[in-house]
Structure 1
Amino acid sequence: MTAHAAEPAPVVPPMPERTPKALREAIMQNTPQLLPDFDEHWKWAVADAYDISTVPAFMARWWGEYAIARDPKLDAHVSGLERRAAESTELAEAKACLEEVSHIRHRVQRLEPGQ
């Protein structure tokens, strides 16, 4: 019998430059499941609105979405916490789960390009 080496953990891609174009490219390459929502949000929030003042809020949202989605373990953890909160019949448990999700979302906002 041959021993099989454990599969290496997937490499989490680095964060891109903090521009809409670079973020879209990173999403396209690493988390393509996010691309339709990213493009739709861009269209109505920025392009169709003819309002570039909305770009910082748009970038904050999608910076966090990509930061979580690019890491399968973190993405599964956040999804699990959100699912537990939704299914919980105990207010304290639901609150604790959502507070942890909030802390994670705030932490990923502080990621810099290349991290």
Structure 2
Amino acid sequence: MATRYYIRLPDGSRARGTTPSLSFTAQGAGGFAEQLQDALREPALFERWRLLQDEPDEVDPALGVTDPNAVVHGEQHDLHIDLQVTSSIPGHVLKQRLRLLAGSAWELRDVTAA
């Protein structure tokens, strides 16, 4: 079952994770949406993060779940960016991916059934 997540990046220029190789590189709403969508659809971000761990083989494989049907839309509003995510990815996995991509510079505004 898909869920819709409403996410805000209060300042897109600060939406960067602590590890540059895992972080957002986007500058605008469309780029942020595309990078998050890729992180939900494909295992590449998870795999890069997993390989950085002290014991990569001990990382819970459930954190690597993907949703090939995930869709992310982005809208720019002055400095802040609103992202609407529709996905079957569990909320804790979505939050982990957002922390990798944006650090703590994001807000979960609402969650609804899709």
Q: TM-score, normalised by structure 1?
A: 0.28
**Bigger strand fraction:** 2
Question: Which one has a bigger Cα radius of gyration?
Answer: 1
**Bigger helix fraction:** 1
